[in-house]
Amino acid sequence: MRARDLLADFPTVGLDTPVIEAARLLADQDLPGLIVVDADGLPFTILPGTQVLRMAVPGYCQDDPALARVIDEAHADLFLRQLSERTVREALPRERRELPVADLNATVLELAALMARTHSPLVAVVAGGRLHGAVTLQALLDRAVEA
């Protein structure tokens, strides 16, 4: 079993996509994370769901969740609205993540090791200079527990 047997189409967002749209895509399609592509359609970064959420949470709340508690419930409910038109490019963390990217021939064990090390529940599959789709943790586990 190789990445080519496990991959599926996976939606992407661009660097100029508003964060609110990225969050909506994640929610509506129950995705484990997002692939952010560059102008060539290749992975620029791959964000686990928690890190998509991170783009939407004010920095002061991340550093000290006690500060999140001072925001009242009505305002807390609307935290995504505060994003307005902020784009993925503007909200991305400064540090670059190791990209969980594999080729079509990656084995189940390679994909699992990559997910474990990069803390990413999805791996983008790139070959011949284009993005073929992604292998998700669920797809990999579903097959691995049957083996």
Q: Which residues contact a copy of itself (rule: CB under 8 A)?
A: 1-2, 20, 23-24, 26-28, 30, 32, 48-51, 53-54, 56-57, 61-63, 65, 68-69, 71-73, 75-81, 106-110, 112-121, 137-138, 140-142, 144-145, 147
Smallest distance from a copy of itself to CB 41, Å: 24
Question: How far apart are the C-alpha atoms of 98 and 81, rounded to whole Å?
Answer: 30
Closer Cβ to a copy of itself, 16 or 77, answer by number: 77
Smallest distance from a copy of itself to CB 101, Å: 11
Closer Cβ to a copy of itself, 55 or 131, answer by number: 55
Question: How far apart are the C-alpha atoms of 115 and 13, rounded to whole Å?
Answer: 20
Are 12 and 131 in contact by the 8 Å Cβ rule? The answer is yes
* CB-based contacts of 21, cutoff 8 Å, min separation 6: 13
Are 45 and 96 in contact by the 8 Å Cβ rule? The answer is yes
Closer Cβ to a copy of itself, 9 or 64, answer by number: 64
Closer Cβ to a copy of itself, 16 or 50, answer by number: 50
Taking alpha carbons only, the member of 28, 46, 25, 48 closest to residue 36 is: 46
Smallest distance from a copy of itself to CB 32, Å: 7
Smallest distance from a copy of itself to CB 39, Å: 27
For residue 97, which phi and psi values (nearest 5 degrees)?
Answer: -85, 155
The single-letter DSSP state of residue 98 is P
